[in-house]
Chains A and B, each alone.
Chain A
Amino acid sequence: MAKLTKEELIKMYSQMVLIRLFESKIGEIYGKGAIPGEMHLSNGQEAIAVGVCANLRADDAVSSTHRAHGHMIAKGVDLKKMTAELFGRKTGLCKGKGGHMHLFDPSIKFGCGGIVGAGMPLAVGSGLAFKRKGLDSVSVVFFGDGAANQGTFHESLNLAALWKLPVIFVCEDNRYGISVTKEMSTAINSNADRAVSYGIPGVAADGNDVAEVYQVTKAAVERARKGEGPTLLEFTTYRLMGHFEGDPEVYKPKEEQEEALRNEPIIRLEKVLTKEYGVNVEELVKIKEARQAEIAEAIKFAETSPWPKPEEALEDVFVEGGVR
């Protein structure tokens, strides 16, 4: 595998930092009660979002889970509109009707949802649409290791493999399905091995190494664009936070968490950048500062945006109009 250039890695670092700082800030604001609903953060999983999406074009589709902020940012969402949606404001991506778990943005071909394992059939559908239209776009679906035990996982892999669709199944093994460990929920060690059942490539890789995520995904994307069909990827990582904000996390051993913090993807990338690529620490600090400013601006936009009118709740059940 060709080594990534310094510029490529710095760009990825900047994206990962944006996700981490954004989510940390959102967690803080959520804790004060300013954001409705539940809050699921992806701290520790940034390398997967960024490494995967760095391979994607604007015309590629992404579907995601209830832990979607990172994926959406990596796909290039307008941070202000996304933040406003989390706050339930009229200026949000979905006019305040979706919220944190249901973020949709056709301009970046992105959708997500709060039902475990449900995104995979939809991703098969966009892959089917690309193939039917004769495009070389790909459809990427993120899901957790918990979702790999849903029937939709097996049905979707079978269908995508059967029809040779350009779908890339990205399993984020963050070790936990809420509080239950992967060892307690999954009969085999790596979900990537399940690809054998469908006659497609399955690759397990280190999800905390952004360069590795990028390279592994690159091969899958190339294969899909050439019309050779789907790939199943599983990236191991660690959910640094609870399942949701407010989760007491009594099920996580302390030593495990300490080990995870030493191995988390941003610190690892900082080491690589400074030691192997000669980037100085000041440069990294500058990147963080720039991202912080962007986040502050997005939050200010959300906080000062108007609320939807209550009766707007009655709109958008159906789209209006005839044939398009």
Chain B
Amino acid sequence: MSRILTFAEAISEAMAQEMERDERVFLMGEDVGRYGGIFGTDVGLYDKFGPNRVIDTPISESAFIGAGIGAAMEGLRPIVELMFVDFFGVAMDQIFNHMAKITYMSGGNFSVPMVLRTAIGGGYGDAAQHSQILYSLFAHVPGIKVVVPSTPYDAKGLLISSIRDDNPVMFFEHKLLAGLDWLPFGVKGEVPEEPYTIPLGKADIKRSGKDLTIVTASLMVHRALAAAEKLSAEGIEAEIIDLRSLVPLDKETILTSVAKTHRLLIVDEDYLSYGMSGEIAAVVAEEGLYDLEAPIKRLAVPDVPIPFSHPMEDFVLPNEKKIYAAAKALVQE
């Protein structure tokens, strides 16, 4: 049976069901206990599972992320919460050199079945150290699966898959999707009560169309869907691909779509250079160039830190208007 849940509620439910199913699963991080997670994603877990399985940690990211790795190597299945992705720098060594590489360096002798969940994104004036996306940084380093859900339904199914995966998974939750009162936007959607999985590495076509392909993820899926409605009123049908995971990357769905629409717009809330938008563009240039009837177009943050003041933040982040304009220009090209 389905009910309407917020994105944050879907995440909390996924964790609760996995913790019920498997004794080895536990959650640790800053303010995940009584507070329920700064973005509301852990609400109810502490009351249900107590302080031994929902563990508040000190502000000590290297130690508790590293402890997650060590516990995973001993066969537990930790879910570790890094409050804002922007804070990863203080624990970068543990993530990049250990979580990502121990499986490989050990020749597959050790696995690290851990999920590192983190909040991403701007759009509410939180400035340069609390608004980044950064998923491409982690996708660049081999050994980490990178999952980026956009809806409550996907969030639950993808998180359950991530927890059950034997590899380290980074799970990126956009703050504006969470559904908190103090944040703008927020998504709700139908979520089945029973546990279910969505395979990692399978993109989802969130809207079917014939005139251009828009490849995107997370919050920008919703921005692109809104733009597509406007375009549709003018007779332009955009196909919207929600990547859902950057690693593994579902090249096939992208290439099949481009072969159908012959035009590609990539919308990425991350920085423009050397990131996800560049990777998708390269994949299509290498493997689908002859399907294109116009140059690939990218819409992303123009290589500046995220500014504080609204007019400037609006200027740098992709939004519905910019997607609409870019798509229209691309179709008319």
Interface residues of A (CB under 8 A from B): 61, 63, 92-98, 102, 104-106, 111, 113, 115, 118, 120-130, 132-133, 139, 151-152, 155-156, 158-159, 162, 315-319, 321-324
Contact = CB atoms under 8 A, between A and B. Distances in A.
7 contacts: A115-B93, A122-B67, A125-B72, A151-B62, A316-B104, A316-B107, A317-B143
A3 B74 CA distance: 35
Mostly helix, strand, loop or mixed at chain A's interface?
A: mixed
B129 interface: no
A126 B68 CA distance: 9
Size bracket of the B interface:
35 or more
B235 interface: no
Contacts of A98: 105-107
Interface in B52-109: 52, 57-58, 60, 62-76, 78, 90, 93-94, 97-98, 102-109
Contact of B60 (A126, A133, A155): A155
B29 interface: no
B98 A122 contact: yes
Contacts of A105: 109
Nearest to A316: B108
Given A93-B107, A95-B108, A324 B113 contact: yes
Contact of B105 (A97, A128, A315, A321): A97
Nearest to A151: B62
A111 B102 contact: yes
Given A106-B106, A113-B105, 6 more contacts: A61-B74, A105-B109, A125-B70, A125-B73, A162-B58, A323-B164
B117 interface: no
B167 interface: yes
Interface centre among A93, A97, A127, A155 (most CB of B within 10 A): A155
A122 B69 contact: yes
Nearest to B57: A159
A126 B73 contact: yes
Nearest to A162: B58
B98 A113 contact: yes
B71 A121 contact: no
A126 B70 contact: yes
B103 A94 contact: no
A125 B60 CA distance: 14
Nearest to A135: B74
B324 interface: no
A118 to B, nearest CB: 6
Nearest to B66: A121
Interface centre among B58, B71, B167 (most CB of A within 10 A): B71
Given A111-B73, A126-B73, A126-B74, A318 B143 contact: yes
Nearest to A150: B62
Contacts, number: 149
Contacts of B98: 113, 115, 118, 122
B93 A118 contact: yes
Interface centre among A92, A111, A158 (most CB of B within 10 A): A111
Nearest to B108: A316
A93 B109 contact: yes
A97 B106 contact: yes
A40 to B, nearest CB: 16
A192 B71 CA distance: 26
A107 to B, nearest CB: 9
Given A95-B107, A98-B106, A322 B66 contact: no
A152 B106 contact: no
Given A95-B108, A97-B106, A104-B102, A120 B66 contact: yes
A127 B69 CA distance: 12
A221 B329 CA distance: 70
Nearest to A152: B62
Contacts of B102: 104, 111
A122 B104 contact: no
Given A98-B105, A129-B75, A318-B103, A124 B166 contact: no
B103 A121 contact: no
B145 A152 contact: no
A317 B71 contact: no
Contacts of B166: 319, 321-324
Nearest to B163: A323
A94 B105 contact: yes
Contacts of B165: 322
Contacts of A104: 102, 105-107, 109-110
B104 A317 contact: yes
B106 A155 contact: no
Contacts of A155: 58, 60, 62-63
